[in-house]
Amino acid sequence: MQELPLIARAQSHGHRIAVRAGDREYTYAELLDASAAVAAALLGAGKDLAEACIAFLAPGGFEYLAIQWGIWRAGGVVVPLSVSATKSELEHALGDSGASHVVVLRAHAEKLESLPGESDRQLLIFEDIALTANCLLPEIDPTRRAMILFTSGTTSTPKGVVTTHENIRAQIESLVEAWEWENSDCIPLFLPMHHIHGIINIACCALWAGATVECFPKFEAGRILGRVGAGAYTLFMAVPTIYVVLIDLLESQRYTGEVRERILSGFANMRLMVSGSAALPSTVHEKWTALTGQSLLERYGMTETGMNLSNPLHGERRPGAVGKPLPLVEVRRKSESGDLITVEGEPGEIQVRGPVVFREYWNRPEATSEAFDDGWFRTGDVAVLENGYYRIMGRMSIDIIKSGGYKLSALEIESVLLNHPAIRECAVVGVKDDTWSELVGVVAVLKDGASDLSIEDLRAWCKEWLSPYKVPRRLLVVDDLPRNAMGKVTKTVLADTFGR
Ligand code: MLC
Ligand code: AMP
C-alpha cells in the first residue's frame, strides 16, 4: 500500500528519536504505533474517514503528533484547535468546520464538554485510546484535503484555510531543500500548534527529515535557555517577539557569568536560526548578531501559501529584507491598478503561485475566488525588490494586525467590543510596538449615560470573549492613527467617529 510520504519516511527512521518532551523520548516507531491506534479508534468499523473534519485539542507534544498523524492515516482532515481559545472561538472552529469528532487530552476535555452542539460530536479522550490498537488503513490520494487552519482576515470571522496532502508535501520539501534539514538536526518547538509556523516549518519539516523535535507546551524561556546552554539544538525558529524577549533576558541580570556564556555559545553553535511570521526589525537582527554571532535568517510566508520568500542559507542575509522565492514558489508583484511590476524599486502586492498554495477557504467559494488573480494568490502584503531581494513594506489593509506573530482581524475584535454595554462605536487598529510588532489598540465612543470606561475594565471584560493576544492593550487618541503600506488611513469608521 502506498503511504502518505511523511508516514513512509517515518517508517525508514524507525528507532531514531522523533520527539523529546520533558524527560521522555519517543522514537519514530512509537509515533507510528500511537498514530495507527488513533486512526483505528477514529475508524471504528469504517474503512476511510473520507475527508471528514476531525478537530483536536492538545499542546505541542508526542500526543499532538500522534493525533495529527492518526487523523491523516485514517483519511480525515485535521482541524487543530488553539489551547488558549475562548469558548466562542472554539465554537466557531468546530461549527465552521463541521467536525464530526474531537480528539482531546483529558486535561483539556472540560473546555469542550460544555460547548453547544457537543452532543452531535463524538468526543474522544486520547488517554482512553488503547495505544496497541491497529487496523487496515486506507490509501490516501495526495490531492485530498489534509488540514484546516483558521486565519483572520478582512472579514469578522476567521476563515478555514484548506490545504491538501500535496500542498503540505510541497511546503515541507521547499523548506527541507532550502534550509538543508538533516536527520542529525534537533529543534525546540514552543510555538502554538494551530498555526503553520509550528506545524509545518518546525514539526513537519523535522519529522520529514528524521530529526528530533523537543516539545514545550508553550514558550518557557527559562527551560528553553537551559537546553540551549546544554547545546541541545542545531536549529531554532521563532517569531520576532521571541527574539526581543530573549535579548531582554540575556541583557538582564538574570543570566550572568558562566551560565550566560554557555547560553550564548549554545546559540552561536547552532547551524541556523530563523525569524518569521512578522517583520524582524533591523535593530533586532543586528543586536542578535552582536550578542550571539548568529545572523538570523528572515523569511516570509502565510497560512494560505506556506513559506514564499527567504534569505539564503548560504550567502548574504540582509537585515530588513526577506530574500528571494523559495523552491517550488513563484512570486510576482502587482500595482494597485493591477499592472504587473517589472522594475525593482516600485512597491506592489506580492502574489504567489505553485504547489504550496492552498486549495480553498472552507465553505467560502466566493472568498476563495476573490483571493486569486488569474491563478495567483493575492497575499495582501506589499513589497519592493531591492538589489534582488524582496523587502516587505506592510499590508494593504490596516484591518489586519500582527501581534506577537498572531494575525488578528480588527473587525473580529470590533464586533466583540460592540457587545460591551458601554460602547456605542469603536475602531480597532494595530499600534506599532518594539516587542509585539503591533499592539491591539482601540478607539471607543461610549453610549450616552455610560460611565467612563478604562482600558483595564475593558480588558477584564474581553478576556471571556477573546484569546489573550486579541485583548486590546491601548486606548488611542486620534493622532496615533496608523496608516497602511500605501500611506492611507483606510478605515472609514475612524472618519465617521472623529470626522473634523
Ligand atoms: C500576550 N501578551 C501580550 C500579547 N500576548 N501583550 C501584548 N500583545 C500581545 N499580543 C501579554 C499577556 O497579557 C501577559 O501580560 C504577557 O504578555 C505574557 O502573556 P503570555 O500569553 O504568557 O505570553 P507568552 O506565552 O510569552 O506569549 C508570547 C509569544 C506568543 C510571543 C511566545 O504570543 C507566541 O507563541 N506567538 C507566536 C504565534 C505564532 O506562532 N504565529 C505564527 C502564525 S503563522 P501580563 O501583564 O498578564 O503578564 C504565520 C505564517 C508565517 O504567521 O509566516 O509564519
Ligand atoms: P498568517 O496569516 O497568520 O499566516 O500570517 C501571514 C502574514 O504574516 C503575512 O501575510 C505577512 O503579513 C506576515 N509575515 C510573515 N512573515 C513576515 C516577515 N518576515 N515580514 C513581514 N511580515 C511577515
Taking only the tens place, the pLDDT of each residue in 87-143 is 999 999 999 999 999 999 999 999 998 887 777 789 999 999 988 888 899 999 999
User: pLDDT tier at 64 (50, 70, 90 boundaries)?
Assistant: very high
What percentage of the chain has pLDDT greater than the value 90?
A: 84
Q: What type of residue is 169?
A: R
Best residue among 194, 241, 302 to mutate for probing ligand 1's pocket (most ligand atoms within 8 Å of CB) is: 241
Query: Each residue of 429-444: b (16+ CB within 10 Å) or e?
Result: bbbebeebbbbbbbbb
| Ligand 2 atom at minimum distance from 197 CA | 4
CA of 301 to the centre of ligand 1 (A): 18
Q: How far apart are CA 472 and CA 458, in angstroms?
A: 8
CA of 361 to the centre of ligand 1 (A): 26
Whose CA is closest to 14, among 35, 1, 33? 33
Ligand nearest to the CA of 276: 2
User: pLDDT tier at 422 (50, 70, 90 boundaries)?
Assistant: confident
Whose CA is closest to 304, among 343, 353, 236, 263? 353
What percentage of the chain has pLDDT greater than the value 70?
A: 94
Ligand nearest to the CA of 403: 1
Whose CA is closest to 397, among 485, 471, 498? 485
- Residue 488: what pLDDT? 46
Report the chain's mean pLDDT, rounded to a whole number.
Answer: 93
- Residue 448: what pLDDT? 77
- Residue 423: what pLDDT? 86
Best residue among 277, 352, 437 to mutate for probing ligand 1's pocket (most ligand atoms within 8 Å of CB) is: 277
- Residue 2: what pLDDT? 77
What are 191-242's pLDDT values in tens digits? 999 999 999 999 999 999 999 999 999 999 999 999 999 999 999 999 999 9
Ligand nearest to the CA of 303: 2
Strands 101-104 and 53-57, sheet pairing: parallel
Best residue among 237, 239, 459 to mutate for probing ligand 1's pocket (most ligand atoms within 8 Å of CB) is: 239
CA of 319 to the centre of ligand 2 (A): 16
Q: Alpha carbon of 96 to those of 11, 150, 180, 275: distances in Å?
A: 35, 10, 38, 31
> Cell match 468499523: residue?
45
